[in-house]
Amino acid sequence: MFSIGGTGWMMVFAAVAGLLALVVGLAAGRRLGPLGGFAWFGLLWSVAVIGIVTLIPAQNGLGYIPAQDHATSCSWDIGGPSPDSFWIFGGGQQLLNALLFVPAGLFLVVAFARWRAGWVLVPFGLLALAAYSLGIEETQLHVARIDRACDVTDIIDNVTGAAIGVGLGVLLLPLTRPWGARSRR
């Protein structure tokens, strides 16, 4: 049986997602300028990497997981069933969950700040990132095959990371000035 899991597969999928995001970013850059293209590349790639890291089994070759061995509800215990460290990086998993969403929040601001509607689109984008986190946790709950735990702490950490990213993006706006970028026509 062929199984997909572990950090090697995560890296392969992240590279493929990066190439696809690069194509979109280059196309967007032709219309929006280099900063706009880079922002869309970063936003798409960071959202894809979040999905890859959270929805691919952390270890290769898990095999069949009987339904009675899989959790039937999310953990509402702050701190939850998650281990103290992650399989790729050392350190607390809560910090990693937050850091995983920071780039998406930052690139969200830079991608939408060029338009006046950005002040409406960015908060909606932050809500979309929160919904994405919720969807990931729901998927982890219902798809026993990926052997992941649904945990409310992850949602809190993810939304915190996205909000920090939005804050950093707002702080970087005077330096990037995306509203001043013109298309190269």
Q: How far apart, in whole angstroms, are the C-alpha atoms of residue 180 and residue 95?
A: 35
- The model's pTM is 0.82
Q: How far apart, in whole angstroms, are the C-alpha atoms of residue 182 and residue 32?
A: 7
- At 178 the pLDDT is 64
Percentage of residues in the chain having pLDDT higher than 90: 45
pLDDT tens-digit readout, 139-158: 888 876 777 777 788 888 89
| In the predicted structure, residue 88 carries a pLDDT above the cut 50 | no
